[in-house]
């Protein structure tokens, strides 16, 4: 049997809800009642979201029951990669050209998951630093990955994205010697947008720093469950 | 006098036109009548659009009269960089959170340029592989920059962007040894989306390959002027 055919693909329909804020609040409550923490992970195309998730999930999967929803305009390569590399439940959401997910679209994904016993669902949002930042997905937290080759000036250019994220993971630090990326300036610019945001430098390829990201997630889920 | 204050910034307003296709066609005709070629340059955030433009413009500025419109949600760092490094006319378009430019928004930028004697206007679109692909800006051609760190699989994930581009510039080839980027696969995937698209590998940092991009632009403008 071809592995490709074992990945569940959900074709996301456009939302009919007028008030996304209300809808996101409702989804957050539903998930809270089920004890499932939703993390919304955003980034540019090619920042390394999938590789980072694989590393992180492999560190966490014995402590938390995790599922991943991979949102993409097309293709299902990411969902397959995640499932093959971690063994966890992974589904693909096709946005059909839409550049972001809102709460109703996220719910369509949630409805496609086997939720029984889950602690954590990670939504890998569409690779885009603009539109996804505008829509509350119903997640407990927003996090983003900025990769070294993109440059440390991104918080200046994409203010909303950096304002709505509680955590900025800076990926691909192994290539720092080959790029003009200033980590201190990056942190300064991130904090201009959100003074409370945490910055965690990692290299998803080698695994450096990934424990800290995994720890952040673990603490987040634990504190939220105890609230 | 502070250089920052010398950059013209245009706050782009939302379009009121219902039919962008028609509007784009009209803008294309207006520009044709003025003998000004408009190139729409798109990419992800941090792919190196500005650095590439600086190199390319410095190769072309004695042959063509060029102006640049830098579209960004916020900040004017790119317009300043371009003007300082090339001396050409460079203005900043602020999209105020909007994730793309359509023809009417592009026209607002054009209206802010001194058009007298210009041969070429380059629009550096918002860094985003999704939304800008959906809107005809009135340009003669769409081109895009894909950078090596983003990965060769991007045409699979952002099909529309690669379908609408006549040229894909692959930037940052100096870091090819540090990334799993397969140039042949990249070309294959690009051609899946648009069989006629040209692929030009470059390194904007060192200048490698940039002559070919400059030549492509020069030929394009020449052929279009002779049409």
The pLDDT averaged over each successive group of 10 residues in chain B (227 residues) is 60 77 96 97 94 97 97 82 94 86 94 95 94 96 97 93 98 96 98 97 97 98 95
**Residue A177 in contact with residue B174, Cβ under 8 Å?**
no
Whether A175 sits inside 8 A of B172 (CB atoms) is no
The torsion angle over the Cα atoms of residues A206, A209, A215 and A217, rounded to 10 degrees, is -80
* Pairs of CB atoms within 8 A across A/B: 113
Q: Is B154 on the interface with A (CB under 8 A)?
A: yes
Contacts of A30 (CB under 8 A, 6+ apart): none
Q: Is A46 on the interface with B (CB under 8 A)?
A: yes
* The dihedral sign for the CA sequence B204, B208, B210, B216: negative
Query: Rounded to two decimals, what is the model's pTM?
Result: 0.88
User: Which residues in chain B have their CB less than 8 angstroms from residue A44's CB?
Assistant: 44-46, 127, 150
- CA–CA gap between residue B71 and residue B69 (Å, rounded): 6
Q: What pLDDT score does B1 carry?
A: 37
Whether B127 sits inside 8 A of A129 (CB atoms) is yes
Element containing residue B94 per DSSP (H, E): strand B89-94
Q: Name the closest residue on chain A to residue B76, using Cα atoms.
A: A157
The encoded tokens of residue A146 equal 């900025």
- Beta bridge partner(s), residue B141: B39
The encoded tokens of residue A202 equal 């990692």
What residues does each domain of chain B span? 3-12+22-225
Residue A126: what are its φ and ψ, rounded to 5°? -60, 140
Q: Residue-wise over B185-220: b if at least 16 C-beta within 10 A, else e? A: ebbebbeebbeebbebbbbbbeeebbeebbebbbeb
User: Which residues in chain B have their CB less than 8 angstroms from residue A168's CB?
Assistant: none
**Residue A138 in contact with residue A122, Cβ under 8 Å?**
no
Please report, in tens digits, the pLDDT of each residue of chain A (227 residues total): 344 447 777 887 776 667 999 999 999 999 999 999 999 999 999 999 999 999 999 999 999 999 999 998 777 788 889 999 999 999 999 887 788 899 999 999 999 999 999 999 999 999 999 999 999 999 999 999 999 999 999 999 899 999 999 999 999 999 999 999 999 999 999 999 999 999 999 999 999 999 999 999 999 999 999 98
Q: Name the closest residue on chain B to residue A132, using Cα atoms.
A: B99
Residue A179: what are its φ and ψ, rounded to 5°? -130, 150
Tell which residue, A217, A227, A211, A204, has the closest CA to residue A85.
A204
The encoded tokens of residue B127 equal 């860094």
User: Which residues in chain A have their CB less than 8 angstroms from residue B73's CB?
Assistant: 130, 157-160
User: Which residues in chain A have their CB less than 8 angstroms from residue B99's CB?
Assistant: 99, 128, 130-131
d(CA A1, nearest CA chain B) in Å: 23
Tell which residue, A132, A136, A148, has the closest CA to residue A48.
A148
- CA–CA gap between residue A207 and residue B23 (Å, rounded): 50
User: Which residues in chain A have their CB less than 8 angstroms from residue B174's CB?
Assistant: 178
Angle at alpha carbon of residue B101, lines to B96 and B104, rounded to 5°: 105
Point out the residue among B77, B128, B174 whose CB comes nearest to the CB of A130.
B128
Whether A72 sits inside 8 A of B157 (CB atoms) is yes
Interface test with A, best of B4, B52, B96, B149 (most A CBs within 10 A): B149
Do the interacting molecules here have an ipTM over 0.85?
no
Q: What is the DSSP letter of A131?
A: G
Beta strand residue intervals within chain A, DSSP E? 8-11, 37-43, 66-72, 89-94, 120-124, 141-147, 167-171, 198-201
Whether A99 sits inside 8 A of B130 (CB atoms) is yes
User: Which residues in chain A have their CB less than 8 angstroms from residue B145's CB?
Assistant: none
Architecture of domain A3-12+22-225: 3-Layer(aba) Sandwich (3.40)
Question: What is the CB neighbour count within 10 angstroms for residue A1?
Answer: 5
């Amino acid at each position: 049997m071809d592995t490709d055919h074992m990945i569940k693909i959900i074709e996301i329909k456009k939302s009919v809800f007028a008030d996304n804020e209300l809808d996101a609040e409702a989804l957050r409550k539903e998930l809270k009642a089920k004890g499932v923490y939703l993390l919304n992970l955003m980034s540019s195309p090619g920042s390394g979201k999938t590789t980072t998730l694989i590393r992180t999930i492999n560190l966490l999967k014995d402590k938390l029951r995790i599922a991943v929803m991979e949102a993409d305009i097309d293709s299902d390569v990411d969902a397959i990669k995640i499932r093959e590399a971690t063994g966890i439940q992974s589904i693909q959401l096709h946005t059909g050209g839409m550049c972001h997910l809102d709460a109703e679209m996220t719910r369509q994904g949630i409805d496609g998951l086997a939720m029984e016993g889950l602690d954590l669902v990670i939504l890998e949002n569409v690779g885009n630093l603009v539109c996804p930042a505008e829509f509350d997905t119903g997640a407990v937290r927003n996090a983003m990955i900025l990769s070294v080759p993109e440059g440390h000036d991104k918080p200046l250019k994409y203010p909303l994205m950096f304002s709505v994220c509680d955590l900025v993971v800076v990926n691909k630090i192994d290539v720092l010697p080959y790029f003009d990326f200033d980590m201190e300036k990056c942190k300064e610019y991130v904090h201009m947008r959100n003074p409370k945001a945490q910055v965690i430098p990692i290299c998803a390829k080698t695994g450096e720093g990934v424990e800290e990201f995994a720890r952040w997630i673990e603490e987040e889920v634990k504190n939220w469950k105890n609230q």
